[in-house]
Chain A
Amino acid sequence: MRIARPRAAKAIVAALAIGMVATACASDRDESDSSGDSEVFVFGAAGDPAALDPSLASDGESFRVTRAAFETLLEHEPGGTELVPGLAREWSSNEEGTEWTFQLQEGVTFHDGAELTGEVVCQNFDRWYNWSGTYQNTTLSYYWQGVFGGFAENESENVPEPNYVGCEAPDELTATITVERPSANYPGGFSLQAFAIHSPDAIEAYAEDDASGSGENITFPAYSQEGGTVAGTGPFRITEWNKGNGEVTLERFDEYWGETKAGVDTLVFRTIPEESARRQELQAGDIHGYDLVAPADVRTLEDEGFQVPVRGVFNILYLGITQERQPALEDLQVRQAIAHALDRQNIVDTQLPEGGVQATQFIPDTVAGYSEDVQTYEYDPELAQSLLAEAGAEDLTLEFCYPTEVTRPYMPAPVDIYELLRADLEAVGVTVEPKPLTWNPDYQETTRSGGCDVYLLGWTGDFNDAYNFLGTWFDGYSQEWGFENEEIFDLLAEVSAEPDVATREAMYEEANVAIMDFLPGVPISSSPPSIAFSADVNPPTTSPLTQENFAEVSFK
Chain B
Amino acid sequence: MLRLVVRRLLQLIPTLFGLSVLLFLWIHRLPGGPAWALLGERGDEASRRQIEEQLGLDEPLLVQYGRWLGRLVRLDLGNSVKTGQPVWEEFTLRFPATVELGLTALLFAVVIGIPLGYFAARRRGTWLDVAAVSGSLLGICVPVFFLAMILRSIFAVNLGWLPSGGRLTTGINATDVTGFAVLDGLLTGEFDASWDAIQHLILPGLALASIPLAVVVRITRASVLEVLSEDYVRTAESKGLRKSVVRGRHVLRNALLPVVTTVGLVTGSLLSGAVLTESAFSFGGIGSFIRQAISDRDYPVLMGFILFIALLYVLINLVVDLTYGLIDPRVRVN
By a beta-carbon cutoff of 8 Å, the part of chain A in contact with chain B is: 4-5, 8-9, 11-12, 15, 22-24, 26-27, 29-30, 32-35, 38, 40, 42, 47-48, 50-51, 58-59, 136-139, 142, 156, 158-159, 211, 213-220, 225, 243-247, 266, 268, 270-274, 276-277, 280-281, 283-286, 408, 438-442, 444-446, 448-449, 457-459, 478-479
Contact = CB atoms under 8 A, between A and B. Distances in A.
Contacts of A50: 82-83
Q: Top 6 closest A-B pairs, CB basis?
A: A441-B32, A220-B84, A441-B36, A215-B56, A34-B171, A158-B50
Interface string B37-53: 11111111111111101
A277 B280 contact: yes
Given A8-B119, A24-B161, A158 B53 contact: yes
Contacts of B156: 280-281, 284, 286
Residue of A24, A34, A216, A280 with most partner-chain B CB within 10 A: A216
Nearest to B132: A12
Nearest to B167: A245
Nearest to B95: A244
A277 B165 contact: yes
B79 A246 contact: no
Contact of B84 (A8, A58, A158, A211): A211
Contacts of B94: 243-244
B296 A440 contact: yes
Contacts of A276: 149
Contact of A219 (B32, B51, B86, B176): B86
A192 B148 CA distance: 39
Residue of A30, A225, A442 with most partner-chain B CB within 10 A: A442
B172 A34 contact: yes
B202 A244 contact: no
A215 B170 contact: no
Nearest to B300: A216
A179 to B, nearest CB: 21
25 contacts: A4-B122, A11-B119, A34-B169, A47-B292, A48-B83, A138-B38, A139-B51, A139-B84, A211-B84, A218-B79, A225-B85, A244-B176, A268-B170, A271-B282, A272-B282, A273-B291, A274-B280, A277-B165, A280-B165, A281-B282, A408-B41, A441-B36, A444-B40, A448-B43, A458-B41
Contact of B55 (A218, A273, A479): A218
Contact of A284 (B33, B68, B160, B196): B160
Nearest to B108: A19
B112 interface: yes
Contacts, number: 239
Contacts of A15: 111-112, 115
A34 B193 CA distance: 11
Contacts of A11: 115, 119
Contact of A280 (B50, B153, B172, B243): B153
B229 interface: no
A441 B149 contact: no
Given A34-B169, A138-B51, A273 B279 contact: yes
Contacts of A245: 166-168, 284
B296 to A, nearest CB: 7
Contacts of B161: 23-24, 26-27, 29
B171 A38 contact: yes
B292 A139 contact: no
Residue of B145, B171, B172, B243 with most partner-chain A CB within 10 A: B171
Majority DSSP secondary structure for residues of B touching A = helix
A281 B31 contact: no
B268 interface: no
Given A219-B79, A273-B292, A280-B153, A40 B170 contact: yes
Interface in B59-111: 67-68, 71, 78-79, 81-86, 93-94, 96-97, 111
A448 B282 contact: no
A280 B86 contact: no
Contacts of A266: 171
B162 interface: yes
B157 interface: yes
A217 B79 contact: yes
Majority DSSP secondary structure for residues of A touching B = mixed
B171 A268 contact: yes
Given A34-B171, A50-B83, 11 more contacts: A136-B54, A159-B50, A268-B170, A272-B165, A280-B152, A439-B295, A440-B37, A440-B296, A441-B295, A444-B43, A448-B45
Interface string B272-300: 00000001111010001001100111011
Contacts of B81: 216, 218
A277 B162 contact: no
A35 B83 contact: no
A216 B56 contact: yes
Contact of B163 (A8, A286, A448): A286
Given A59-B40, A137-B54, A445-B31, A440 B47 contact: no
B35 to A, nearest CB: 8
Contacts of B153: 280
B155 interface: yes
A500 B164 CA distance: 53
Contact of A457 (B41, B82, B122, B172): B41
Residue of B42, B53, B111, B196 with most partner-chain A CB within 10 A: B42
A218 B85 CA distance: 8
B287 to A, nearest CB: 11
B75 to A, nearest CB: 14
Nearest to B151: A280
Contact of B38 (A12, A139, A479): A139
A113 to B, nearest CB: 27
Contact of B32 (A30, A442, A457): A442
A29 B39 CA distance: 41
A479 B199 contact: no
Interface string B1-43: 0000000000000000000000000000001111111111111
Given A23-B202, A26-B199, A244-B97, A444 B39 contact: yes
B157 A270 contact: no
A57 to B, nearest CB: 11
B104 to A, nearest CB: 12
B33 A441 contact: yes
A219 B80 CA distance: 8
A478 B44 contact: yes
Contacts of A283: 157, 164
